[in-house]
A and B are shown apart, each in its own frame.
Chain A
Amino acid sequence: MLQRHNENRPSVFAHLDWTTVIIYLLMVIAGVISIYAASYDFDEASMLSFDEFSGKQVRWIGLALMLGFFVLLIDYRVYETYAYPVYLIMLVVLLVTPFLAHDIKGSRSWLTIGSMSLQPAEFAKCATALALAKLFSGYNFVLNAKPVNYVKALAIILLPVLLILLQNETGSALVYLSLFFVLYREGMSGLILFGALMAVVIFVVAVKFTDVMFLGIPEGEFAVLVLVMLIVTGMSFIYQRRFELPRNLFVWFGTMMLAGWLLAGPCAIAIPGRAWMLGTIGIGCVYIVIEALKHHIYKLLIPVGAAIFCIGFMFSVNFAFQKLQPHQQLRILVVLGIEDDLRGAGYNVNQSKIAIGSGGLTGKGFLNGTQTKLKYVPEQHTDFIFCTIGEEEGFLGSIAVVGLYMALILKVIAIAERQPRPFGRVYAYCVASYFIFHFCINIGMVIGLCPVIGIPLPFFSYGGSSLWGFTLLLFILLRIDAARKSYS
């Protein structure tokens, strides 16, 4: 064991993916500069206290680099071997955290060790990724082979979610849902991701466009029903691979819509829009069912199921929406542009949009951002760090950050695909999924496209836990990747 370890050592740095390391270093340095800018205070008197953010972050980075280096030195097989024990220990830590932690802004997620405060949830991401990878690297493990495999995978993903929810850290808990990308890559039906995507689209459209009426029903509902027609037509093509059925469906739906529009428009006849459209879709579905039974292509029942799912979901959206907590409802409404609550829930988003929008092409220059300097944007050194970049470095700076993330995520996916073993691949996809989620939600919320879910922008946001957690994730991946040649 020791001997082999020594054998591998020179190859660690020889096979290290330096591109990723450089992207990592660029991000971390840009991050600390942004934190310095975001928390910079010109008042000499209070300089020390605010300077600590960037000062502390530099120390965090130093420690993170040491951590990364240390991770690279450890034998890659250690991670696979100890994946489950690490995962179990992490679950225990997550379980006890709410009892040991102090209440900070309503969440009990910080553990104090000496003078350091750490968020176990950030490290649990790594443990969960390892455990999931370990599951998939089991001998002859095929996700789709048995339903129990799904149960195992979901258990690994959802246990930390539950425990983190107990800490009242909804944002961190939601991150784990991104691991469905991994399941998808490993064979989970695309219908589930497609269904989730459709659910989000239908939710947004149905909640947002309720004011304007079209064909006697709210515009949003109309749009969803048209979408259902397109989905049914498209899916019937995918599952039958022949043009006749989708063509007939297309003609039928088109004719009925045109007729409805003509009747309601030029002819000014009030038609019952909802019944009209549901009837049209219903007849289309009956036609598909007949075709399915006639040709014994039972997969054709999937579009019918999709239609029923979408329509049912739409009608239950309002019900589900009412079930959310009022402040969550409000946040969603604000993001969808229905509510204009600039003093309350919309304040952060509006101020951050102003800050970013005022940046222009090249920005106001380092340390010259008035919006972020004058503290109009809250949480600007943590979750809203992207604001400072947007304001001071402008469109070019923002795009550079988006570009860096694209490079990192695509690079991680590339690394994943070149892994010789499922363990490495699944682990890499876990890493990619986490980055995708953090990137989409954090930047999305800062530019007002997503609800405000308090999660950091990896490597940019201030905070040791997040930095260490992501460094750990990335460097374990690099270590595993560096050993890929050992198998060939």
Chain B
Amino acid sequence: MRKDYKFEKRKYIIGGFILVIALIYAVRLFDLQLNDERYKQSADSNAFLKKTVFPSRGLMYDRNGELVVYNQPAYDVMLIPRDVQPFDTADFCETIHITPAQLRKRFEDMRDKRLNPGYSSYTPQRLITQLSSQDYGRLQEKLYRFPGFFIQKRILRQYNYATAANVLGNLREVSSDDIDRDDYYARGDYTGDLGVERSYEPYLRGVKGVEILIRDARGRIQGRYENGAHDIAPISGRDLKLSLDIKLQQYAESLMAGKRGAVVAIEPKTGEILCLVSSPGYDPRLLVGRPRGENYKKLEQVEGLPLFDRALSGRYPPGSTFKPTQGLILLQEGIITTSTTYPCFHGYVNGGLRVGCHAHGSPLPLKPALQTSCNAYFCWGFKNMIDRRSKYGSPANALEVWKNHLVSMGYGYPLGVDLPHENRGFLPNSKFYSKYYGEGHWSANTIISVSIGQGEILATPLQIANLAATIANRGWFITPHAVKEIQDTVMPDGLLERRRPTIDEKWYHEVAEGMRMAVTGGTCRRAAIPGIDVAGKTGTAQNPHGKDHSAFMGFAPYDDPKIAVAVYVENGGFGAVFGVPIGSLVMEKYLTDSIAPSRKYMEDQMLNTPVFYASKTQRK
């Protein structure tokens, strides 16, 4: 048995091994339990129940101080699963008006770790959200019959007016993306969706408070930690004063009844948006509370896409409302002077190309051309600029100069309005055409239709309204914005600065005069308001979706503009049919707070004339 002794020493190695391991573990335990305070703190945070106290969300007033959006309490049914005992489900369902099947579904969803990753049978769970106050009252009385259940108060939005849903926006529950992006949010919180609610979310939401409660080892709440000395009070969200005139918004919406399109009115001196109508609209109250999801789905399917904000996101050919920009560029570039005349023989005829025009005097200079909305004039001007190789070298260079002027006027890029989902429109540059036609294979005549706001160019109603405001100011504008004041703080940077296009002010006076003439004796005669000098420009935009779009852009009073407006009615026909009357009525309503008796017939006409849409809504 000598072999046994040969390896006997190995017992020391095995014993030594286990001793070393035990030593390592002892050191580790020492480190965890005596050395490292971090774990103690973690344990503390586990044993404290930090209860969030929600701040009240900022209210919204219109520019005249009318309360538009306010808060309404709502009630969530909460429960701690392990405290729940068998209860009378029929009674419970009847009390809060849900079916047993719905209740079962709610329980399943609550326990589903995928839908509710924070589920634990020891912590409060949200079972049913947004109980009406009646249901809340009934349930509150019977709550003693349902141990483990309790009710948590939440805040819902409510609206005083069934209007401006696109500007005001609404609240939705935060998504997991929101939670990842911003650690302010926790599951079940609300955040602004669309409109001002979305873009001013950081101001509106306020700061959450914390109430620190102590739990004992049993998980029961023992009371407030040090009598609330460490609690943090919530800070209410800031109230907003909107630049909207809610009455004007309502009026403009009513004028757009039965029509698809947009009305945008801006106070030129401040850039404040007075009304921003997208038609068809919807009642913002539809997206409040429990029915939100269902209504949202319905609105997504309604003909005319009410959820699509045409005023900001709709891209339309601007048509003749674009002509003032052309006049300005041509004057600035020295292609024309105020007295340069171009001929019009019922249109522009050049190189086998013909752009039609209606009957008026010929030849004519700029102002009468704006007055009569002469296509030929602006085609000639555009041709003379784009094809002037002596000055620009090539049509491509000339077009870049042309494009840069337009960009400075707010076309082709988002203006930077303080609302989400603003579209940039579309402004073709030379690269675009070179790609399409081939480099050097295009000239003014190839692309002549952009000079009259047709062809490739697309603009949003907001951009058109901004042009009206710029002309009203004779050469500058302030980024349009929907919020006038934020409670106890200043407006975000850059929103109130004057922006100057690359066009001299003096040329704006010329163009403004041409627009004034269009109202006094041109295409915009119906825009005239008794006692107020109005300037305007019609637009009749051809489009691939059927009848022409009816557009108008104008401002008033002429010498001291207080309102600039753009109207766009899809498939409304001539600009004078819908665009001009609606635009002028909006201006009249805002300036005089009434409609002159002589114009009542026009108001009735607008209120009661729908446009029939055969095709699906265009979303371009």
Contacts and interface: CB of A to CB of B under 8 A. Distances in A.
Contacts of B13: 184, 190
Interface in A351-380: 353-361, 367-371, 373-376
B219 A184 contact: no
B33 A395 contact: yes
Given A374-B122, A449-B25, A390 B33 contact: yes
A352 to B, nearest CB: 10
B46 A370 contact: yes
Given A360-B33, A447-B28, A373 B219 contact: yes
Interface stretch (A117-125, A399-407, A477-485): A399-407
Interface in A392-430: 394-395, 398-399, 402, 405-406, 409-410, 413, 416-417, 422, 425, 429
Interface residues of A, number: 56
A109 to B, nearest CB: 25
Nearest to B6: A187
A356 B39 contact: yes
A254 interface: no
Interface stretch (B210-218, B280-288, B418-426): B210-218
A440 interface: yes
A49 to B, nearest CB: 11
Interface string B15-58: 10111011011101110111010111011101100000000000
A42 B49 CA distance: 18
A321 to B, nearest CB: 24
Nearest to A197: B17
Contacts of A443: 25
Nearest to A359: B33
Nearest to B219: A374
B40 A358 contact: yes
A425 B26 CA distance: 29
Given A42-B217, A373-B219, A360 B29 contact: no
Interface in B247-305: none
Interface string B211-253: 0000111111000000000000000000000000000000000
Contacts of A185: 7, 10-11, 14
Contacts of A368: 217
B43 A358 contact: yes
B441 interface: no
A402 B26 contact: yes
A2 interface: no
B25 A356 contact: no
Contacts of A43: 82-83, 218
Determine which residue in B3, B29, B46, B122 has the highest number of CB atoms from chain A within 10 A of its CB, and name it: B29
A190 B6 CA distance: 14
Nearest to A365: B217
Contacts of A405: 22
A440 B10 CA distance: 20
Interface in A180-238: 181, 184-187, 190
Contact of B33 (A187, A357, A444, A448): A357
B218 A184 contact: no
Contacts of B10: 184-185, 190
A46 interface: yes
A304 interface: no
Nearest to A140: B3
A142 interface: yes
Chain B interface: which size bin? 35 or more
Nearest to A356: B32
B7 A444 contact: no
A14 interface: no
A285 interface: no
A366 to B, nearest CB: 11
Contacts of B40: 357-358, 360
Contacts of B25: 402, 443-444, 447, 449
A393 B11 CA distance: 33
B8 interface: yes
A406 B23 CA distance: 10
B33 A181 contact: no
A181 B220 CA distance: 50
B85 interface: yes
Interface in A149-191: 181, 184-187, 190
Interface string A334-357: 000000000100000000011111
Contact of B11 (A187, A359, A399, A417): A417
Interface in A14-63: 41-43, 45-46
A432 interface: yes
A416 B15 CA distance: 12
A436 interface: yes
Nearest to A406: B22
A325 B42 CA distance: 31
B4 interface: yes
A356 B40 CA distance: 9
B17 to A, nearest CB: 8
A330 B122 CA distance: 28
Contacts of A369: 217
Given A370-B217, A390-B33, A405-B22, A357 B6 contact: no
Given A46-B82, A181-B14, A184-B14, A395 B34 contact: yes
A188 to B, nearest CB: 9
Q: Which 7 pairs, one residue from A and one from B, show the smallest C-beta to C-beta distance?
A: A357-B39, A358-B43, A42-B218, A373-B217, A370-B47, A395-B33, A357-B32
6 contacts: A43-B82, A354-B46, A374-B46, A399-B29, A402-B29, A449-B25
Given A356-B33, A373-B219, A406-B18, 20 more contacts: A43-B82, A43-B83, A43-B218, A45-B85, A142-B3, A181-B14, A355-B43, A357-B38, A361-B33, A373-B218, A374-B217, A375-B122, A398-B29, A402-B26, A410-B18, A413-B11, A417-B8, A425-B4, A429-B14, A440-B18
Interface of B: 3-4, 6-8, 10-11, 13-15, 17-19, 21-22, 24-26, 28-30, 32-34, 36, 38-40, 42-44, 46-47, 82-83, 85, 117, 120, 122, 215-220
